């Protein structure tokens, strides 16, 4: 069985991608389990950051690696928060926007990001937005032919969060075609429609065509 190292320590992202890549039978493991630190993400596009993370993981694991760089792009904000979606409040907001401790740290960070986004969109009527996922896979750190897939999931930013599932901006992202926010979807339904699902389906085709010849 081929091992595929995920260039992330996000357990929820690992679970999503494990389910999406199950058809190929890869053993997917996150880099943290191998003692690999997070890579720098200095670039301004999802694709460039995903490539940097995939090469970093492949180099340290000496194995094939895949990276997802994803985030939320809001039309009325010129594409922000974009590649800094996960650090939006830390970079541009006030510290500790939400009071009280969080059991895992991540929940508090997500809440701060959501609150800052709502503040910045308080007087904006154009709520169009999309989740974007760039998946990049490499067979080795010096692979000259990285596989690149890009998925976009369109929706609208609500004024009040709805739903308790998912993570990140899921409670604010309303998908008109499904009549729910992403946080209200079951994991199975989310994996059918999400930006990662769209990118993953493209990546599965590429891996079969290029890696499985």
Confidence at residue 46, expressed as pLDDT on a 0 to 100 scale: 97
Residue 213: its pLDDT value, please? 60
Q: What is the pLDDT of residue 1?
A: 64
Give the residue ranges of the chain where pLDDT is below 50.
Answer: 99-105
Cα atoms in the 13 Å half-sphere on the side-chain side of 47: 8
Tell me the CA end-to-end span of the chain in Å, nearest whole number. 16
Neighbours of 185 (CB within 10 A): 20
CATH code at 3-211: 3.90.950.10
pLDDT at res. 27: 85
User: Is there a cis peptide before residue 17, judged by omega within 30 degrees of 0?
Assistant: no
Give the integer Cα–Cα distance in Å for 66 and 57: 8
**69 has catalytic annotation:** yes
Pair 5, 31: CB distance under 8 Å: yes
Instruction: List, for residues 160-173, the tens digit of each pLDDT value.
Output: 999 999 889 999 99
Domain ranges for the chain, please list them.
Answer: 3-211
**H helix and E strand count, the chain:** 6, 7
Q: What pLDDT, on a 0 to 100 scale, did the predictor assign at position 134? A: 97
Contact 206, 147 (CB under 8 A): yes
pTM: 0.86
pLDDT at position 81 is: 97
For the chain, what is the radius of gyration of the CA atoms? 17
> What is residue 19's predicted lDDT score, i.e. its pLDDT?
82
């Amino acid at each position: 069985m081929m091992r595929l190292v995920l260039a992330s320590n996000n357990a929820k992202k690992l679970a999503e991608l494990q389910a999406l890549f199950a058809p190929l039978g890869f053993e997917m493991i996150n880099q943290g389990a191998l003692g690999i630190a997070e890579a720098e993400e200095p670039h301004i596009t999802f694709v460039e950051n995903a490539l940097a993370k995939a090469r970093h993981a492949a180099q340290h694991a000496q194995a094939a690696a895949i990276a997802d760089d994803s985030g939320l792009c809001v039309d009325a904000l010129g594409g922000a928060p974009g590649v800094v979606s996960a650090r939006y409040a830390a970079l541009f907001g006030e510290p500790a926007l939400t009071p009280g401790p969080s059991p895992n740290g991540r929940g508090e960070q997500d809440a701060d990001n959501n609150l800052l986004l709502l503040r910045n969109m308080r007087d904006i009527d154009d709520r169009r937005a999309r989740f974007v996922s760039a998946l990049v896979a490499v067979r080795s750190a010096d692979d000259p032919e990285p596989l690149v897939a890009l998925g976009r999931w369109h929706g609208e930013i609500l004024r009040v969060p709805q739903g308790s599932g998912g993570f990140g901006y899921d409670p604010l992202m309303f998908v008109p075609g499904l009549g729910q926010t992403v946080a209200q979807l079951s994991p199975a339904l989310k994996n059918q429609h999400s930006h990662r699902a769209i990118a993953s389906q493209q990546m599965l085709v590429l891996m079969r065509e290029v890696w499985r010849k």
